[in-house]
Amino acid sequence: MNRRLFIGSVAVATSALGMSRKLPAAPKYIFLMIGDGMGEAQREIAERYIRMKYPKRDTGLVMNQLPVRGKMTTHNISGGITDSAASGTALACGQKTVDGAVCMAEDLKTPLRPVAYDAQEAGMKVGIVTSVPVDHATPACFYARVPKRGMYYEIDEQITPTGFEYFAGETLLGRKKAKGKTSPDELIQQGGYQLVQDRVGFDALKNGDSKIVVEHDLGYAIDGKQEISLADLTAKGIEVLDGKQGFFMMVEGGKIDWSGHANDLATNIHETLAFDEAVAVAKAFCDRHPDDSLLIVTADHETGGLELESAVPDMVATIDAQEFRGQKYMSEVSGWKKSGSVSAETACDRLVKSFGLSSIPAEEAAHIQVAVAETMSDEADDTRAPEIQKMYGKRNAAVMSCQHALAGQAGATWTSYKHTLVPVTTTAYGRWADRFGGDYDNADIGKRLKQLIQS
């Protein structure tokens, strides 16, 4: 055979080989990652922080670098501001419902079907991962059905019947409602699941292990290095679930929402970064499986009505001045007040120093002084000034005033303590990512995932 004919034969053979390689119609690996309470502003302020803190890094948040971007509405079935149960149900089931309902229709009687069960029926393994308890509203929406999200024990009873391979989160809330009933520990063990509650047991988990419940308190990222992080839970989930069957994994950053309710910007940024570290773990896996992976990063709603001004040059120093989440300082203030050994003036000086607010404008400093003085008051009744009561409600006004001042120094303003109707951002990565671009509603996430899995 001459050289030209030989080369032509090789080319034909190579072409035929390429033609015979058929790409899968549906993803083998699906990550649905939900930043609870994470609006566009939360993503942007964390992006600013990480770029300023590490200017030599090529990129900011991994989730913000994903190539496909969409904008998503989050209202509940009546068109009002949603809670996490109604929004979680929309994301999981592709159908809207009323606030408080976990995978139940508006009548609170008709059960809805989470996409995780579609994945299981398609032969995929399933993982439910969160930085909060797995019986909390958002994660519960991917496996349980109850008319009220506060039915934690009833949600716990539905963990093992799922047959899902991997659950991971913090201490179950149902423990507090288990008096006179079979304990959650026993429910898990009687259901044939392995309960893992420490780092040694967690590290021992390996590929092929199945029916696992990891229950370990992660704490808050701002408070110091976590023994087990959300990224660790995600990486272990991949290790355990990976195989020929593929998997569906829901991963939630639940404390983005909690710190939003608290109007605690520094804590919110650190929780968003901790969530993004988990996104990075998922993306790295997808990079190793480019033909059959899908990564979706979204939110169930926005929390706190966070609004941003232009970037502030010394933002990093402002955020880093707060060493712990606001709740720690609230506990300290309560202790000072109870002991009676700390004057309002001393308390104010300590808080201003703790939040790095010594150089704030005189008007803001005066406001903090008033808030601290009224918080430290010994009066049994709430005699705080009306504007203080209106601004902070029953919250610790001393600490809240400092948190709001810190946010202002960082170019941000909290406008609410609750969820809002602000549309949230979705980003996606993988062969099927383009299905999640553009403008759509949260229920469309569930619908489109179901269509993909069933294709």
Q: Quick: pLDDT tens for 193-205.
A: 999 999 999 999 9
What phi, psi does 327 have (nearest 5°)? -60, -35
Q: Which residues are 140's β-sheet partners?
A: none
pLDDT at 295: 98
What's the token pair of residue 105?
Answer: 């229709």
Length of the chain: 455
Query: Cα separation of 107 and 227, whole Å?
Result: 43
Contact residues for 236 (Cβ-Cβ < 8 A; gap 6+): 168, 202, 205, 214
Q: pLDDT for 58-94, tens place per residue?
A: 789 999 999 999 999 999 999 999 999 999 999 999 9
Beta carbons of 140 and 88 less than 8 angstroms apart: yes
Q: How far apart are CA 39 and CA 36, in angstroms?
A: 9
pLDDT of residue 20: 53
Q: Are 146 and 215 in contact (CB under 8 A)?
A: no
Instruction: Look at residue 178 in the predicted model and tell me its pLDDT.
Output: 82
pLDDT digits (tens, 9 = 90+) for 432-451: 999 999 999 999 999 999 99
* Residue 1 pLDDT level (bands cut at 50, 70, 90): very low
Is 80 exceeded by the pLDDT of residue 17?
A: no
pLDDT at 31 over 80: yes
The closest of 87, 142, 81 to 115, measured between CA atoms, is: 142
Domains of the chain, earliest start first = 29-308+417-454 (3.40.720.10), 315-410 (no CATH)
Query: pTM score, two decimals?
Result: 0.94
Does residue 3 carry a pLDDT above 80? no
Mean pLDDT of the region 203-226: 95
- The mean pLDDT of 407-431, rounded to a whole number, is 97
Q: Could you read off the pLDDT of 238-286 as tens digits, one per residue? A: 999 999 999 999 999 999 999 999 999 999 999 999 999 999 999 999 9
Q: Above pLDDT 90, what percent of the chain?
A: 86
Provide the pLDDT for residue 410.
97
Q: Give the per-residue pLDDT at 124.
A: 98
Q: What average pLDDT does range 357-366 have in this prediction? A: 92
Please enumerate, as own/partner, the contacts of 313-316 that have beta carbons within 8 Å and a separation of 24 or more.
315/48, 315/49, 315/52, 315/410, 315/411, 316/49, 316/52, 316/53
DSSP 311: P
pLDDT band at 380 (very low <50, low <70, confident <90, very high): low
**pLDDT score recorded for residue 21:** 62
Q: What percent of the chain has pLDDT over 70?
A: 95
pLDDT computed for residue 391 by the predictor = 82
Q: What's the pLDDT band for 36 if we cut at 50, 70, 90?
A: very high
Range with the poorest average pLDDT among 5-19, 115-129, 173-187, 261-275 = 5-19
Which whole number is the average pLDDT over 361-381?
Answer: 87
pLDDT given for residue 7 in this prediction: 43
